[in-house]
Amino acid sequence: MAIFISRKSNGKAKKKYNLLSIKSNQILFAFRQCHLFHHPCFPYYSLHTSMPPTQPTPTNSANLRYRTPLQQLVTLAKTQQFYWFLGHVFAVLFFILSTLTGFWNRHSSLKYYRFSLLSIILTYLIVIRQIHFKSTFKLSSINIRLLRDENVQYLLLAVIFYVSSFIIGQTGSSLYSFAIFAVFHVSTYFQNHLLSVFIGDIATQSRISSMISNFTSKFNQPALIAASNAEIVLLVVSGFQLIPSALLLLFRRNIVEVSVQVLVFVAIVVFNKLRFDSNQYTKVVVEQMDLKVNQTLAQINSPQLSQLYQNARAGALKYLSLIKLPKESGKKK
């Protein structure tokens, strides 16, 4: 995090801005050092994949190109990857419908919101089954491995959003990061498995494949940054939603609804803390936010506000440091 230095003189102010400038350069350097798509849901860009491992099926055979489109689709439909792909397609589709209908029909928007979450949950269940329950494993270590898997963390968050929607409705900004990931999954799966099915002309296939490759290459890192920002925005929005919930408890005494709202907020806090610990993009986004707050306070030049922020920041860090996952026993360092 950026270190705040009170501005009592012009000399000290210059020193503070120099430190902030250095910190900003360090953050930008960190962005350049980040590996592209180091996220569990990007099968073609990360070291660990949320796409089921490729199985030795006829899909990978060179003879597949000589089959009819219908035969190719039937072959693909026998793989779990195909339903993983469909889950992401429906997740994006229902996300768009939920967003659009939200302007005039909240009931329909909520319905599509739940459908989108169910589609997301399906994709993660397929992935987790492939990663953790395909081969033999030690029962003593599976629980820790599951907790430390980012796919499981995203799955649990989606399940919480889905279950809580029957009591508190939609959680604002909760689908954005899922939708961002899904767009790239759909694009890459279509490029690698469906392009030759629907497009017979080789030249057209090559042109479309090149367009998809350019898209993923150009927007992969901005997409990860946007997803990390969306998850931080989700935390802020969820926090602000506690205010009307408190008023609801005061006037209507609806303890169940308020309790669920609080539990959702706590789940989002825990999720973002785990993302901060394991994801360099989330860490950089948080550090940039802290840097901007410090810069704003330096311009305002209010010692009271600065001290208030530092106290709140220290208190938050104290309690957030308690949120951490156990290490796997016997894991080599």
State CA 38 to chain mean position distance.
Answer: 11
pLDDT band at 67 (very low <50, low <70, confident <90, very high): confident
Is residue 179's pLDDT more than 90? yes
pLDDT band at 328 (very low <50, low <70, confident <90, very high): low
**Domain ranges in the chain?**
41-230
pLDDT at res. 135: 62
pLDDT at res. 244: 80
What gap in Å lies between CA 251 and CA 264, rounded to an integer?
Answer: 21
Q: Which residue has the higher pLDDT, 222 or 25?
A: 222
Of 321, 296, 320, 292, the C-alpha closest to 306 is: 296
pLDDT at res. 220: 92
Task: Report pTM.
Answer: 0.78
Is residue 88's pLDDT more than 80? yes
Burial of residue 2 (number of CB atoms within 10 Å: 0-12, 13-18, 19+): buried
What gap in Å lies between CA 125 and CA 157, rounded to an integer?
Answer: 13
